[in-house]
Amino acid sequence: MNNPKKIAVFVSGGGTNLQALIDAEQNGIIKSGKISLVVSNNANAYALERAKKANIPTVYLNKKELGGQNGFENALKSVLKEKGIDLIVLAGFMSILSINFTKDYEKRIINVHPSLIPSFCGKGFYGLKVHECALEKGVKVTGATVHFVNEIPDGGEIIMQKAVYIKPSDTPETLQKRVMEQAEWKILPKSVEKVCKKLK
């Protein structure tokens, strides 16, 4: 593609989903977009190391230093504008974005969530807690969902889903790993490509 869309990936932790995106770009799964920036709200996120290894520019923004949510989101907006970002991917980003931010990027922010929405989603459902709840409920099938982001946590339109079967021996940790490997790392890159292709 002559003019790939510029992608910013927002991260807070280890960056395994970021790595899946970097690999997908290198393997030609993502060809309509290019990861042009990695943004973190955690200075110690290993995801920043992954970005540096892949020669992707990084930015760290501290909400407290920026005077709270408003200052943080304004700083985000100016960085994204400066870099000419077309699409934002939330990949384990542990900060809820307000309507003041999301309304400026309608259908331009996507997130991966480790369950089949509308199950085990919304406020407070992130990380291992999602898998703990799935096991407590005794569901037989879980999975991952990629969706557009609006002001409601996990509330935007669904782009892609993939199911993962639960094993009787599963712990939250083994389930988390399998959902990542079998679902998140597969549908996130595909969704990024799909959305980039459609962006004007």
Determine the Cα–Cα distance for residues 96 and 82; give it in Å rounded to an integer. 22
**What end-to-end distance do the CA atoms of the chain give, in Å?**
14
- Whether the CB-CB separation of 116 and 155 falls below 8 Å is answered with no
Please give the average per-residue pLDDT across 21-48, as a whole number: 96
* pLDDT computed for residue 101 by the predictor: 95
Fold of 5-198: Rossmann fold (3.40.50)
Q: Is the pLDDT of residue 70 over 90?
A: yes
Catalytic residue among 50, 113, 131, 178: 113
For the stretch 153-163, pLDDT in tens is 899 999 999 99
pTM above 0.85, yes or no: yes
For the stretch 94-130, pLDDT in tens is 888 999 999 999 999 999 999 999 999 998 898 899 9
The model's confidence at residue 200, banded by pLDDT at 50, 70 and 90, is confident
Q: Is the pLDDT of residue 2 over 70?
A: no
147 labelled catalytic:
no
Taking the domains of the chain in order of start, what are their residue ranges? 5-198
The type of residue at 34 is K
> Which residues contact residue 89 at a Cβ distance below 8 angstroms, ignoring those fewer than 6 apart?
7, 8, 9, 10, 21, 109, 110, 111, 188, 192
Determine the Cα–Cα distance for residues 2 and 137; give it in Å rounded to an integer. 48
CA nearest neighbour of 79 among 110, 47, 36, 45: 36
* pLDDT computed for residue 123 by the predictor: 87
Q: Is the pLDDT of residue 1 over 90?
A: no
